[in-house]
Structure 1
């Protein structure tokens, strides 16, 4: 059987060739002999109950000067694809939710969707981590200013962050007696109208915010520790962090073993766990990254590991 895989992503013209994970996944699918099709979120549609998309066949090349050749667009049912991967970056807004409705219809009509659309909606990347309190630092999700101030007063050194951010955007560290606490709370909660997350600050961030990749509930044997640049509290590569690939620690494996079975059950085939020190801080389900860096430094073909896992799901 000739397998067709559709990839929904941000515009391929504007990706960062050097580190883009989606490009590596497309290359792995191509190496398996699958036919790869390219789509953007704006190409999705529902027509008379049928999940549809404007899509184009695409070939990719691991060449910084010429990384893709895109064919002619066609408008066709998503169910023509054996597999559809949702790789659109956040924000997780209403448009993203509407896209999951269309993908759920495609799932009902026979396509394997990675990750499962319902679970993309159910598992907010910040909030879902709190389902594993034994793995997490002390935290709070609220929009109530007094509760946030009380959390800060108790822990003295805390992190406040929005629930829908990515790449370290809008993350604030508040130390004891920070004079800006009120304005930061007002800004992040939009004057009490939006929930945010508060977490106890973990000084272990100086050794890196570790990205552990999970493939169908099983951790990749190496992770990427994203070490903050001088004067920063965020390790995200998008915020200037430096990536260092390293083997998983015993605690990393313990966290993965706790979380993995639930990811597998929910159809979350490709997930990135964020771990600082001994604590799980986020569960990234939308478009996990760091495949290129881990593969390069560890010698593991992480992209092919994922494609093999997806193929196994497809045969089941």
Structure 2
């Protein structure tokens, strides 16, 4: 297969933990050709096909100069067997525009994973609201009075921006309500922006579990991201410690319930975040944790992913 990865700059990869790198490595091991570009390399001229300025690369196996470029070229996206959209969040206006170009490429015959429309339709925090049976008490609003009411009911709450990533902008407010007003004003920009408010889940001490779902089926291990040093955030980017562990019965039930639904919508790879027994996010843009799970358990998540990709392309 001829694969195109749309990602952040290759030069920025930390290959010891990067999931896109693990995908590329497994693809190359199977004899597939690998090319890469960034979202800004996409181009669509009126009357023409959606194109990209790409680099054809080979992985070297070296830790520093980990890839080499055989050629750079402009090519129509439809000429690839599969395009993997792996640009990290945030889902900003440029990401939004990229999904429209990729959707046009689909109309021209390209196969894109995850599907561009599905990326737009599943904002990673809001998407959980479709499945209230799996989530804890949650409110989405920009209204300060709504937030105060929710705090009065649940006492211990988490507030976070809808477009945050890596634990950015997450606040906890306890029963005393200290700084609730100023935190609300900061996150909702004085009523101009919506935010999410959730009942605090004390099970966070055992980790914010990343449950990967590939081709509608759960990976048998999660990565529990455990807060460190008095932090309330388990995100690895916020200093959390990643501990791989077998799925609990509840984890598996959530994943097996949502997996087929999300797969039918065009989401080949999904990262479900679970705290205790509650679903807290549905990550679709660029789910990670492949290498951490493999390093700690020996389960080859990248091989499972490329298996699913190959199967999808046969369909």
Which residue does the alignment assign to 1:72? 71
Alpha-carbon distance between aligned partners in 2 of 1:62 and 1:180, rounded to the nearest angstrom? 50
Shift of 1:70: 2.0
- Alpha-carbon separation, structure 1, partners of 2:232 and 2:16: 24
Distance 2:81 2:266 in 1: 16
- Once residues 172 and 220 of structure 1 are traced to their aligned partners in structure 2, the CA distance between those partners, rounded to angstroms, is 30
Counterpart contact for 1:168–1:239, Cα < 8 Å: yes
**1:72-107 C-alpha deviation (Å, 9 max, x unpaired):** 321110111110001101111111010000111111
Tell me what 2:52 maps to: 53
How far did residue 64 of structure 1 move? 2.0
Residue 43 of structure 1: aligned partner:
41
- Deviation string 1:202-226 (CA, Å, 9 cap, x unpaired) is 0000000000010011000011000
1:117 matched to 2:133? The reply is no
Residue aligned with 1:72, SS: strand
Q: Report the equivalent of 2:179.
A: 180
Corresponding residue for residue 136 of structure 2:
137
SS in 2 for 1:307: helix
2: CA distance between counterparts of 1:90 and 1:253? 26
**Structure 1 residue 262: Cα displacement:** 1.2
Higher mean displacement: 296-305 or 208-217: 296-305
Aligned residues: 314
2:26 to 25, 28, 32: 28
Considering only aligned residues, what root-mean-square deviation do their CA atoms show, in Å?
1.0
Counterpart-to-counterpart distance in 1, 2:54 and 2:60: 19
Counterparts of 1:149-168 in structure 2, within 5 Å, are 149-168=148-167
The farther-off stretch of 93-102 and 173-182 is 173-182
CA contact (8 A) 1:227 1:242 kept: yes
| Unaligned ranges ≥5, structure 1 | none
Q: How does 1:261-300 map to 2 (within 5 A)?
A: 261-300=260-299
CA distance, structure 2, for counterparts of residue 263 and residue 117 of structure 1: 13
Q: Equivalents in 2 of 1:92, 1:289: separation in Å?
A: 16
User: Structure 2 CA distance, aligned partners of 1:62 and 1:137?
Assistant: 44
CA–CA separation in structure 1 for the residues paired with 2:310 and 2:282: 23
Matched, 1:11 2:9: yes
What does residue 254 of structure 1 align with?
253
Mapped to 1, the partners of 2:234 and 2:178 lie a distance apart of: 24
User: Counterparts of 1:258 and 1:191 in 2: how far apart (Å)?
Assistant: 38
Residues 82 and 110 in structure 1, CA contact (< 8 A), matched pair in contact too: no
Q: CA deviation at 1:49?
A: 4.4
Q: How far, CA to CA, are the matches of 1:251 and 1:125 in structure 2?
A: 20
SS of 1:199's equivalent? strand
Contact 1:54/1:74, CA 8 A, preserved across alignment? yes
- In the aligned structure 2, how far is the partner of 1:101 from the partner of 1:265? 20
- Say which SS state the counterpart of residue 71 (structure 2) adopts: coil
- Equivalent residue for 1:302? 301
- How much does 1:179 deviate? 2.5
Once the two structures are overlaid, the 10-residue window that deviates more, 188-197 or 277-286, is 188-197
Q: Relative to structure 1, is the Cα distance of residues 158 and 78 closer, same or farther in structure 2, using a 3 angstrom cutoff?
A: same
For residues 111 and 28 of structure 1, what CA distance do their matches in structure 2 show? Answer: 22
In structure 2, distance between residues paired with 1:10 and 1:257? 31
Counterpart residue number, 2:207:
208
Structure 2 gaps of 5+ residues are none
